[in-house]
Each structure stands twice: as C-alpha cells, then as structure tokens.
Amino acid sequence: MGQTVSEKIISKAAGLTEVKPGDVVTCSVDLAMIHDSGGPRRVKQIMEKLGANVWDPNKVVLVSDHFAHNTDSESMKILQLTRDWAKGQKIDNFYDQEGICHIVTPERGHLLPGMFAVGGDSHSPTGGAFGCFMFGVGSTDMLGILVTGKTWVKVPETININWSGSLKQGVVAKDMALRMCAALGMNGGAYQAIQYTGDAVQSLSMTERMTLCNMSAELGAQTGIIAPDEITYEYIREAGGHIEDENNLISDDDANYLIKHEFSANDLEPQVATPHSPANSTEIKNIEKVQVDKFYIGACTGAKLVDLSMAAKILKNNKVAAGKQLTVAPASSKIYNQASENGVMSILTEAGAKLLPPGCGACAGYGAGVLENNEVCLASTARNFQGRMGSSTSHVYLGSPYTVAASAVTGTITDPREFLED
C-alpha cells in the first residue's frame, strides 16, 4: 500500500521506511514555532528548574504577536520576559512585534516542503500550505519538544478533500473553508490529516492556500496539507528559503484515504458564518440584512496582502457607512509596508478604515478593537466563538475580506459581488 504525503513526512521524521494510520511513533522535529502567549512565559520557569536549554536554537522560531503593541503593564512584562528568554536561549529567529506567527514564519523562509513541524498555536496547520506536516501542541508538549527536539505522534488517517472547477469573481479561499465547515462540521476532520487537492486548490496563490490549511483547525483536523508545486517553490525562493528536492513530495497513486469528499468551486457562492461557530455557515443570500456595528479585517486568515487588496478593490471610491467602524490590522509589518507601497493602504484609510498595528489583536481578544457588550461584528477571522473577540454578549459573523469590505460600505451584511460586477 502506498503512502500519503503526511505519512511520508512522518515516516522520514521517525526514521522509518513507512508508517500506517494508528501507529504511535517518535519523531524528530524540524521546526518548532512559539509565540509570546504560549511560549516563554509557559516554559521558562520549568526549563530553569530542570537546568535545560533549547535543543537547537536554529530550529526554533519565536514571534511576539498576541501581547504585541499592548500598553498595559502585564502585557509589557510578558513581552520583556519573551525578549529575555530569546536572548538567554540564543534564539536568532525571534521576530518581535513584526506580525502574526503563522504569517511571519513562512514570510522569512522558515517553512520548507517535507518538514515535520510543530507550533504552539491551534492554527499551526497553516504550514501545510507549504507541504509541511505541521500541527499545534500545548505548552506541556512544547516544553518537551524544546528540550529534546522530539515528540510522539499517532499517525492520523488522511482525508482527501478535492475541489474541482474554478472560483468565480468575489469568491475566495475563505468561502471554501466556510463551506467545508458547514458541510462537514467542526469535527469533520477530527484528529485526521486533510489533504486538499483539485484544480481549484492548485490555482490558489500561496497566501490563499494558507487560509485553506489554517482553517483545517476549524474542521477539527490535526493538520491540513497541500502537495507542493511550482507555486510553492516560487514563494519559498522569494522568501529566502532553500529547497533541496523539488517535485518529490506527492501521495502515491495507491495511497489509502479514510474518506474522500468532493466539492465544486464552480457553484460556490460567498459564505457567511453566523454566531457562534464557523459551522454555522451558509450562502450570503440566506443571511438577513443584519445591522453590524463593527467590521474587522485582520488575523492570519484575513489580513494578508491579498486580503487587503480584496478589501481595497471594494473600497476604492467608496466610504465606510456613517456611524459604522471598519478596523484593519495587517497580518505583518512586511504586509503593511507592501500595502503602503502599492497604494492599498491609502485606499483603505481614505475610505474611512482605522488602522491597527500588525498582530493577533482583536481576533484573539487582545488590545484595541475588542468588542463591547452586545456589539455585532463582521470579521475576516477564522473563528467566531462566543466571547473570543471581547464581550461574551457580542455577536461575530465571519466572511471573506471582500464580504467584510462590501458590508462596511452598506452597514449591513452584503454580497460583495454587487460591488464587483463592473
């Protein structure tokens, strides 16, 4: 029996010729990514008690993104602890307040096809867009990884989700992800590896693929993965990454899948998730004209350069509706700079958008932009769990950057294609 991409990566990391679903194996970790919330402040004290250091500082990426740009004393203490730990452990790959870990890590060329990688955050499957087997772990598991460079894994089954056809104007990867959440549910990929295939997937840009793999977490999957191709390699080369073997990581023809799901991009419509779950997604035409207080374009799924460009396409020569608030938090400093240079940022601000610093911010309930009691928000984030973005009485809807921008102009949830027909 052949192996899937995920099984091949795990086999290599475990030093075995092959593995099969259900096997429990110990793997060497190629990359460990941590951030300020779940990283040093959780492991520093225990490592000191153990007299232990990081097994290989060159294989650790540390990003301050959750508490970044906050001004309260507790956040400042956490950031300083993070900086001190990075210095003490000689972590050269430390990106301080430069953006969200899931965006900064690939931007800097750290993710390469075939890597067995872990992240201290549930949206670490983003790395699967680069042909990595990357999944999230808690701080206890991360502690063991940082000290030993190894971790155990139960080899997951692989689910194949195939997207045929091509996306229509105004329909993007976020809509694909929300459609899958509605169809399969929050446990549709429970502890499995999801491999995305099909013409619609292969035609996506790298940053759109990142959105797709990122939201594998919303399907309950251990990871999401896309076999690397020339689009992957070109992104990595431009990011400064070094690829040793190209065109060498695909699933075997006789690989076994737990189940195969078929979706068509041809008939996909813009999607909106109603509170309080991404699984509450439906076509936008089924959503009542909900009055929205705040609109948020941010997070690892909704504030990359392509996302900001979507919003700018809608907002050019338009204004945010009177009495409404649109905030934009670019996913990284690099993206902010690019959007400033190509005119996207000026379009957004001229339309009335308020700019927030790069970082996780309101998506994770930190800093400026969090929701107050009973406020209604439409966001480009991955999750709309109750209380995640602020008050537990707030209500969050999810949509693509196109949908958020169009709705910000009208003040109610609006089909973005109304602004793209010309």
**Residue 92 shares a structural domain with residue 189:** yes
**Position 44, amino acid:** K
**Residue 44 shares a structural domain with residue 193:** yes
**Residue 289 shares a structural domain with residue 188:** no
What tokens appear for 69 in the block? 């740009």
> Domain with 286 in it: what CATH number?
3.30.499.10
The span from the CA of 397 to the CA of 413, in Å, is: 9
**Residue 251 shares a structural domain with residue 386:** no
**Residue 199 shares a structural domain with residue 328:** no
3-class secondary structure, 98: coil
**In DSSP terms, which residues pair with 159 in a beta bridge?**
194, 259
Q: Which of 222, 238, 264 is the last residue of a domain?
A: 264
- Whose CA is closest to 325, among 359, 343, 364, 298? 298
Q: Which of 264, 286, 303 is the last residue of a domain?
A: 264
Model pLDDT for residues 165-206, shown as the tens digit of each residue = 999 999 999 999 999 999 999 998 888 999 999 999 999 999
The CA-atom distances, in angstroms, between 76 and each of 33, 70, 71, 127 are 21, 7, 7, 29
Q: What is the pLDDT tens value at each position of the chain, 422 positions in all?
A: 799 999 999 999 999 999 999 999 999 999 999 999 999 999 999 999 999 999 999 999 999 999 988 778 999 999 999 999 999 999 999 999 999 999 999 999 999 999 999 999 999 999 999 999 999 999 999 999 999 999 999 999 999 999 999 999 999 999 999 999 999 999 988 889 999 999 999 999 999 999 999 999 999 999 999 999 999 999 999 999 988 776 679 999 999 999 999 999 999 999 999 999 999 999 999 998 889 999 999 999 999 999 999 999 999 999 999 999 999 999 999 999 999 999 999 999 999 999 999 999 899 888 888 999 999 999 999 999 999 999 999 999 999 999 999 999 999 999 999 999 75
Domain encompassing residue 324: 273-419
**Residue 197 shares a structural domain with residue 74:** yes
Q: In degrees rounded to 5, what are phi and psi of residue 308?
A: -65, -35
Number of domains in the chain: 2
Asked whether the bond before 276 is cis by omega within 30 degrees of 0, the reply is yes
The span from the CA of 224 to the CA of 134, in Å, is: 8
**Residue 120 shares a structural domain with residue 164:** yes
Q: Are 304 and 318 in contact (CB under 8 A)?
A: no
- Whose CA is closest to 116, among 1, 19, 261, 40? 19
The DSSP call for residue 29 is -
The span from the CA of 133 to the CA of 297, in Å, is: 28
- Whose CA is closest to 401, among 211, 199, 122, 126? 211
Tokens 């950031």 label which residue? 79
Tell me, letter by letter, the H, E, C secondary structure of 362-409: HHHCCCCCCECCCCEEEECCCCCCCCCCECCCCEEEECCHHHHHHHHH
**Residue 230 shares a structural domain with residue 132:** yes
Cβ count within 10 A of residue 34: 28
End-to-end CA distance of the chain: 51
The CA-atom distances, in angstroms, between 153 and each of 11, 13, 111, 156, 226 are 11, 10, 20, 8, 20
Q: Are 420 and 313 in contact (CB under 8 A)?
A: yes
Q: Which pairing describes strands 294-297 and 133-136: parallel, antiparallel, or unpaired?
A: unpaired
| Sign, Cα dihedral of 382, 383, 384, 388 | negative
Q: Which of 233, 264, 295 is the last residue of a domain?
A: 264
**Residue 19 shares a structural domain with residue 139:** yes
**Residue 253 shares a structural domain with residue 277:** no
Q: Which pairing describes strands 193-197 and 60-64: parallel, antiparallel, or unpaired?
A: unpaired
Cβ count within 10 A of residue 313: 18
Across the beta sheet with 94-96, the strand order is 94-96, 60-64, 31-35, 116-119, 133-136
Angle of CA points 421, 164, 194, to nearest 5°: 115
Tokens 């104007």 label which residue? 169
**Residue 122 shares a structural domain with residue 170:** yes
**Residue 249 shares a structural domain with residue 296:** no
**In DSSP terms, which residues pair with 151 in a beta bridge?**
27
